């Protein structure tokens, strides 16, 4: 970390402007620093008129060459080395508010003017924003302010923290007690209280390494992966439906399962990203690597009738660009869609160059969300294997590659929604091509080379149909015709063999008619897609026919789990990418090639102009953002706030890092020492004394550091929506350990699902599926699970980089009254009464201990005992009321006590200490 950085933060943290001014006076020999002194003034006072959006007077301060170019007045406003003759500086001094800058605003302070003046005099050099500088390893502070008085922690994190604490005259708190720490680290690492065996081992251990062993034990439980997946699902905007008006089902839960496995096996973060961004472009990708790419297939898909598929394909691409930057590189990129970045040096055109990496994916807002990976069920796998073995034995390598791709991913199918020049034909509900009596449609640019066969997936409501295929013009004679019979059970595939001599790319026309259609508007065939194929390998035997028929069957009805994945277009289908004027997708201007914004190019050419190249650039150790963004996020998960508060924006308008050297230290170690291991990094963090300290706030701390930006205490933060639910289920012992699989539907009040045109119902899952962890709860975008939303969860329409915690009465109502929580309260009461032999006082203590991990103190105990007695009194002998409370049909002995204790456990589960990480 350069020396000026250190000074700047000394400056920030000392926090007293007078001192800052004194500092400047004393050290005015040092050159002005652009990043810490100049850029903040420009951003705050100048750039809203002289930046990427507006360039008033033809003057912009975003890029150096712009700042030094002639303005509308004809001469430059900044002359490097000559502030006296620079118009920008002159106009800061004027008294007429019409002439003075900032225009019609308060004048700059003398200090600000002096900084800018010196900056121009010193050559008006622009610097690189801190987050765009390559990460180097900062030196670890060796002696803190208090090192004479206090034993120093050997942990580098504590050294960085202590150094800053000295500046505000605070010191770290003592370590939290064992039970508090156990609960804290369990919730942080696995999202639920530690399993009993792990907890007891730690609590009973005298080993000085007991805590470290605890951390490792926790990270090796499968629950670890589930907890960190919860975080990633927000970033990936994962949902079980497609979104928008119709919001139909989408089967993409395998991606969620992929995340859990990836976290559990501690897949290095660079590989974790490469597979999600470009798993399909890896050599001979595995099913798992394909599934990883579903990350960017979580964009929404619009099925609303009458919507333009290209518009929503484009919307999805734009979402992928913005999500990639915001979640993985902490940069707000969305504004560059319409104009150059207003504050950071990223140009409008660069947005579209970046978009070009994504613009060639095969998906195009089709109803069935093609392309889909087919993971065959056993019987489907048998058929697929049989076809592939045949091709392996009889065919060429090219045939093998082609058919494997076709049968596994449907690749190279041309979707019927790309038809144009329709005559008495239409894209029905903008989903499929419908041909009516004598209807026709065109498909442009179909590649015939080496592929003389055409497979068409269709449905036909009527017999005696005839389909003619024309090439280049309908005036030419048809190149092939086929009889189309009425289809009985849904989609069918027909194969047409076309003349072998046709080569290259041609437009083709499909023309349909049936004698049975009387009126022009009567419906004929519907088409899903077609694909041009090479010949199926044959040895002339009847077996050839059997295998070919089998291949069509696999293609049409694969008997497989289908998951949307990313695939790129084959070369002949490549899309061009254009700059959209003001972000409007209909106003296409200049064509652009894939590329990275100039400020992020580290003298390193990206070889592959595709998502793989992009992923390589993102995970390169020279990329200044990827590691910092993830470290900041992991820190936020453990400490309640990021080292940079704005997780979504490390740019010059985002918050400044409170501990820049610490951020860089951790980011460097993450890449270089820990080889992108998330587990090692988390361990590094939770092993620090900073993490392990008590969260009690003293008046002194509250006065000096109300927001705990210096970490003189551990944070107290409310649990996340997922943790609130999972913990409650775990406390009462019903949390199911079942992992993976399709999403489940636990109890939810009626009437949450009511989107138009969708008659699907929330059908309560049975048995243990009622009690799965929250990440398995079905997410319908237009009707998300209410208790998740009440606790600041995401509806997953777009990515959510940071949940802003709120504290509302709706949260209270949820925990008090949601049947899920009442059910849990009764179960907790029941199990504690049983284990404590119906002794209610002991049962109260036990419930409290289960819920908080700590023994109850007498004062709290008495309060709950009073509530218990009061409830008993109110229940009296009203057996029917007691039965209602316990949803029981018969009244048994002890149920009055159970009901009264349930009122108590319900209160316990609502305690601040239960829903807060202490």
Interacting residues with other proteins between 722 and 761 (CB under 8 A): 749-751, 754-756
Give the gyration radius of the chain's Cα atoms.
33
Tell me the closest approach of the beta carbon of residue 736 to other proteins, in angstroms. Answer: 23
Residue nearer to other proteins on the CB measure, 680 or 860: 860
Site string for other proteins, 340-359 (x = CB under 8 A): --xxx---------------
The only residue of 517, 525, 844, 867 in contact with other proteins, by rule CB under 8 A: 867
The only residue of 782, 831, 847, 895 in contact with other proteins, by rule CB under 8 A: 782
Residue nearer to other proteins on the CB measure, 155 or 436: 436
Chain centre to alpha carbon of residue 303: 23
- Helical (H) or strand (E) element with 524: strand 523-533
Binding residues for other proteins restricted to 888-907, rule: CB under 8 A = 899, 903-904, 906-907
- Helical (H) or strand (E) element with 331: none
Contact 446, 479 (CB under 8 A): no
Contact 565, 295 (CB under 8 A): no
With binding defined as CB under 8 A, does residue 327 bind other proteins?
A: no
With binding defined as CB under 8 A, does residue 172 bind other proteins?
A: no
Tell me the closest approach of the beta carbon of residue 603 to other proteins, in angstroms. Answer: 27
Contact 717, 184 (CB under 8 A): no
With binding defined as CB under 8 A, does residue 709 bind other proteins?
A: yes
Residue nearer to other proteins on the CB measure, 22 or 84: 22
Structure tokens at 147: 């090192």
Question: How many chain residues interact with other proteins (CB under 8 A)?
Answer: 117
Tell me the closest approach of the beta carbon of residue 257 to other proteins, in angstroms. Answer: 26
Q: Residue 513's beta-bridge partner residues? A: 466
Tell me the C-alpha distance between 702 and 348, whole Å.
45
Candidate ranges 74-82, 128-136, 570-578, 789-797; the one touching other proteins (CB under 8 A): 789-797
Tell me the C-alpha distance between 533 and 300, whole Å.
31
Tell me the closest approach of the beta carbon of residue 853 to other proteins, in angstroms. Answer: 14
Residue nearer to other proteins on the CB measure, 563 or 782: 782
Query: Across the chain, which distance is largest between two alpha carbons, in Å?
Result: 100
Tell me the closest approach of the beta carbon of residue 244 to other proteins, in angstroms. Answer: 5
With binding defined as CB under 8 A, does residue 789 bind other proteins?
A: yes
3-state percent helix, strand, coil for the chain, nearest multiple of 5? 45, 10, 45
Candidate ranges 269-277, 768-776, 818-826, 838-846; the one touching other proteins (CB under 8 A): 818-826
With binding defined as CB under 8 A, does residue 918 bind other proteins?
A: yes
With binding defined as CB under 8 A, does residue 368 bind other proteins?
A: no
The only residue of 71, 533, 641, 723 in contact with other proteins, by rule CB under 8 A: 641
Where does 645-688 have alpha helices with state H?
Answer: 660-672, 678-686
Q: How far from 841 is each of 757, 825, 832, 835, CA to CA, in Å? A: 54, 16, 10, 12
Contact 648, 804 (CB under 8 A): no
Residue nearer to other proteins on the CB measure, 164 or 227: 164
Tell me the C-alpha distance between 588 and 703, whole Å.
56
DSSP 597-613: -GGG--S-----SSHHH
Q: Helix, strand, or coil here: 880?
A: helix
Residue nearer to other proteins on the CB measure, 42 or 89: 42
> How big is the CA angle at 286 (ends 284 and 292), to the nearest 5 degrees?
120
With binding defined as CB under 8 A, does residue 887 bind other proteins?
A: yes
Closest by alpha carbon to 698, among 710, 689, 685, 680? 710
Candidate ranges 270-278, 332-340, 674-682, 763-771; the one touching other proteins (CB under 8 A): 332-340
Contact 856, 846 (CB under 8 A): no
With binding defined as CB under 8 A, does residue 524 bind other proteins?
A: no
Using the CB atoms, write b or e for 197-228: b if 16+ within 10 Å: ebbebbeeeeeeeebeebbebbbebebbbbbb
Candidate ranges 151-159, 289-297, 450-458, 710-718; the one touching other proteins (CB under 8 A): 710-718
Binding residues for other proteins restricted to 287-306, rule: CB under 8 A = 300, 302, 304-306
With binding defined as CB under 8 A, does residue 640 bind other proteins?
A: yes
Candidate ranges 143-151, 440-448, 450-458, 704-712; the one touching other proteins (CB under 8 A): 704-712
Closest by alpha carbon to 132, among 656, 652, 802? 652
Q: State the sign of the Cα–Cα–Cα–Cα dihedral 439, 445, 447, 449.
A: positive
Tell me the closest approach of the beta carbon of residue 479 to other proteins, in angstroms. Answer: 27
Tell me the closest approach of the beta carbon of residue 884 to other proteins, in angstroms. Answer: 4
Using the CB atoms, write b or e for 83-97: b if 16+ within 10 Å: beebbbbebbeeeee
Strand spans (E) along 448-491: 453-459, 465-471, 480-484
Tell me the closest approach of the beta carbon of residue 914 to other proteins, in angstroms. Answer: 10
Binding residues for other proteins restricted to 821-860, rule: CB under 8 A = 822, 857, 859-860
With binding defined as CB under 8 A, does residue 326 bind other proteins?
A: yes
Candidate ranges 8-16, 143-151, 215-223, 277-285; the one touching other proteins (CB under 8 A): 8-16
Structure tokens at 295: 């990350």
Binding residues for other proteins restricted to 446-505, rule: CB under 8 A = none
With binding defined as CB under 8 A, does residue 378 bind other proteins?
A: no
Contact 89, 11 (CB under 8 A): no
Query: What DSSP character marks residue 38?
Result: I
Binding residues for other proteins restricted to 186-225, rule: CB under 8 A = none
Residue nearer to other proteins on the CB measure, 385 or 912: 912
Binding residues for other proteins restricted to 424-443, rule: CB under 8 A = 424, 426-428, 434
The only residue of 173, 327, 720, 811 in contact with other proteins, by rule CB under 8 A: 811
Q: Helix, strand, or coil here: 310?
A: helix
Tell me the closest approach of the beta carbon of residue 348 to other proteins, in angstroms. Answer: 15
Tell me the closest approach of the beta carbon of residue 637 to other proteins, in angstroms. Answer: 14
Tell me the C-alpha distance between 652 and 426, whole Å.
50
Candidate ranges 508-516, 550-558, 681-689, 792-800; the one touching other proteins (CB under 8 A): 792-800
Contact 655, 637 (CB under 8 A): no
Binding residues for other proteins restricted to 681-700, rule: CB under 8 A = 695-699
Candidate ranges 136-144, 329-337, 507-515, 600-608; the one touching other proteins (CB under 8 A): 329-337
Residue nearer to other proteins on the CB measure, 766 or 859: 859
Tell me the C-alpha distance between 234 and 250, whole Å.
17
With binding defined as CB under 8 A, does residue 652 bind other proteins?
A: yes
The 3-class secondary structure across 386-453, one letter per residue, is: HHHHHHHHHCCHHHHHHHHHHHHHCCCCEEHHHCEEEEEEEEECCCEEEEEEEEEEEEEEEECCCCCE
With binding defined as CB under 8 A, does residue 240 bind other proteins?
A: no
- Strands 492-497 and 560-564, how do they pair? unpaired
With binding defined as CB under 8 A, does residue 307 bind other proteins?
A: yes
- Strands 432-447 and 420-428, how do they pair? antiparallel
Measured between its terminal Cα atoms, the distance across the chain in Å is 34
With binding defined as CB under 8 A, does residue 879 bind other proteins?
A: no
Tell me the closest approach of the beta carbon of residue 394 to other proteins, in angstroms. Answer: 45
Number of helices (H), then strands (E), in the chain: 35, 15
Binding residues for other proteins restricted to 525-554, rule: CB under 8 A = none
With binding defined as CB under 8 A, does residue 881 bind other proteins?
A: yes
With binding defined as CB under 8 A, does residue 507 bind other proteins?
A: no
The only residue of 134, 810, 838, 894 in contact with other proteins, by rule CB under 8 A: 810
Tell me the closest approach of the beta carbon of residue 913 to other proteins, in angstroms. Answer: 5
Site string for other proteins, 246-285 (x = CB under 8 A): -x--------------------------------------
């Amino acid at each position: 970390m350069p020396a000026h950085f250190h000074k700047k933060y000394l400056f920030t943290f000392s926090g007293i402007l007078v001192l800052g001014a004194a500092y400047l006076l004393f050290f005015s020999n040092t050159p002005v620093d652009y990043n810490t002194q100049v850029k903040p003034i420009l951003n705050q006072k100048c750039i809203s008129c002289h930046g990427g959006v507006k360039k008033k007077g033809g003057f912009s301060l975003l890029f150096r060459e712009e700042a030094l170019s002639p303005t509308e007045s004809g001469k430059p406003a900044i002359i490097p080395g000559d502030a006296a003759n620079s118009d920008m500086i002159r106009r800061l001094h004027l008294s007429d508010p019409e002439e003075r800058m900032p225009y019609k605003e308060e004048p700059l302070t003398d200090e600000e003017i002096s900084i800018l003046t010196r900056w121009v005099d010193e050559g008006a050099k622009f610097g690189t924003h801190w987050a765009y500088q390559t990460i180097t390893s900062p030196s670890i502070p060796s002696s803190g302010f208090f090192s004479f008085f206090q034993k120093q922690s050997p942990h580098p994190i504590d050294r960085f923290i202590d150094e800053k604490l000295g500046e505000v005259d605070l010191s770290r708190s003592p370590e939290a007690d064992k039970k508090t720490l156990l609960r804290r680290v369990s919730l942080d690492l696995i999202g639920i209280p530690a399993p009993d065996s792990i907890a007891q081992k730690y609590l009973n251990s005298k080993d000085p390494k007991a805590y470290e062993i605890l951390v490792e034990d926790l990270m090796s439980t499968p629950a670890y992966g589930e907890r960190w997946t919860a975080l990633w699902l927000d970033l990936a905007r994962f949902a079980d439906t497609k979104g928008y008006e119709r919001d139909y089902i989408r089967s993409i839960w395998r991606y969620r399962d992929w995340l859990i496995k990836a976290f559990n096996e501690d897949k290095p973060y660079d590989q974790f990203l490469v597979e999600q961004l470009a798993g399909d472009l890896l050599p001979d990708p595995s099913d798992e690597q394909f599934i990883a790419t579903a990350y960017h297939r979580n964009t929404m898909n619009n099925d609303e009738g009458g919507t333009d598929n290209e518009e929503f394909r484009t919307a999805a691409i734009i979402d992928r660009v913005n999500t990639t930057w915001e979640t993985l590189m902490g940069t707000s990129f969305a504004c560059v869609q319409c104009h150059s970045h207003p504050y950071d040096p990223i140009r409008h055109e660069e947005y579209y160059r970046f978009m070009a990496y994504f613009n060639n994916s095969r998906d195009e807002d089709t109803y069935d969300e093609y392309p889909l990976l087919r993971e065959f069920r056993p019987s489907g796998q048998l058929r697929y294997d049989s076809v592939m073995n045949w091709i392996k034995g009889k065919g060429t390598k090219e045939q093998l590659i082609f058919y494997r791709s076709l049968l596994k991913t449907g690749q190279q199918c041309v979707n019927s929604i790309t038809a144009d020049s329709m005559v008495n034909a239409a894209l029905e509900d903008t989903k499929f091509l419908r041909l009516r009596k004598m209807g026709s449609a065109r498909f442009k640019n179909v590649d015939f080379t080496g592929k003389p066969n055409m497979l068409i997936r269709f449905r036909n409501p009527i017999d005696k149909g005839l389909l003619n295929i024309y090439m280049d013009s309908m005036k030419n004679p048809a190149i092939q015709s086929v009889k189309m019979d009425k289809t009985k059970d849904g989609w069918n595939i027909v194969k047409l063999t076309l003349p072998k001599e046709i080569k290259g790319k041609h437009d083709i026309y499909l023309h349909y008619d049936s004698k049975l259609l009387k009126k022009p508007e009567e419906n004929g065939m519907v088409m899903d897609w077609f694909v041009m194929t090479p010949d199926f390998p044959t040895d002339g035997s009847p077996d050839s026919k059997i295998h070919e028929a089998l291949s069509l069957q696999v293609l049409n009805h694969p008997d497989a789990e289908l998951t949307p994945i990313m695939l790129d277009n084959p070369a002949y289908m490549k899309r061009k990418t254009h700059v959209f004027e003001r972000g409007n997708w209909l106003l296409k201007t200049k064509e652009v090639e894939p590329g990275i914004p100039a400020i992020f190019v580290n003298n390193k050419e990206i070889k592959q102009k595709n998502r793989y190249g992009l992923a390589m650039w993102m995970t390169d150790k020279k990329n200044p953002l990827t590691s910092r963004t993830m470290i900041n996020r992991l820190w936020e998960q453990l400490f309640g706030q990021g080292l940079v508060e704005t997780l979504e924006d490390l740019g010059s308008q985002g918050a400044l890092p409170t501990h820049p050297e610490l951020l860089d230290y951790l980011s460097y170690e993450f890449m270089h020492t820990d080889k992108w291991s998330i587990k090692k990094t988390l361990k590094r963090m939770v092993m620090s004394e900073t993490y392990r300290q008590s969260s009690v706030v003293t008046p002194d701390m509250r006065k000096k550091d109300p927001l705990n930006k210096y970490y003189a205490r551990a944070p107290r933060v409310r649990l996340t929506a997922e943790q609130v639910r999972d913990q409650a289920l775990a406390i009462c012992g019903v949390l199911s350990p079942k992992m993976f699989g399709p999403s489940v539907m636990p109890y939810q009040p009626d009437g949450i699902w009511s989107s138009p045109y969708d008659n699907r119902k929330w059908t309560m899952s049975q048995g243990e599926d009622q009690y799965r962890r929250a990440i398995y709860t079905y997410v319908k975008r237009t009707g998300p699970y209410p208790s998740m939303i009440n606790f600041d969860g995401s509806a997953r329409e777009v990515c959510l980089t940071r949940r802003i915690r709120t504290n509302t009465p709706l949260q209270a109502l949820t925990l008090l009254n949601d049947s899920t929580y009442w059910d849990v309260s009764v179960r907790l009461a029941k199990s504690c009464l049983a284990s404590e032999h119906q002794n209610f006082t002991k049962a109260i203590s036990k419930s409290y201990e289960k819920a908080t991990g700590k023994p109850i103190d007498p004062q709290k105990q008495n309060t709950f005992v009073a509530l218990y007695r009061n409830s008993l009194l109110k229940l009296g002998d009203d057996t029917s009321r007691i039965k209602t409370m316990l949803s029981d049909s018969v009244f048994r002995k002890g149920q009055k006590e159970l009901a009264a204790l349930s009122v108590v456990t319900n209160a316990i589960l609502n305690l601040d200490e239960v829903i807060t990480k202490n």
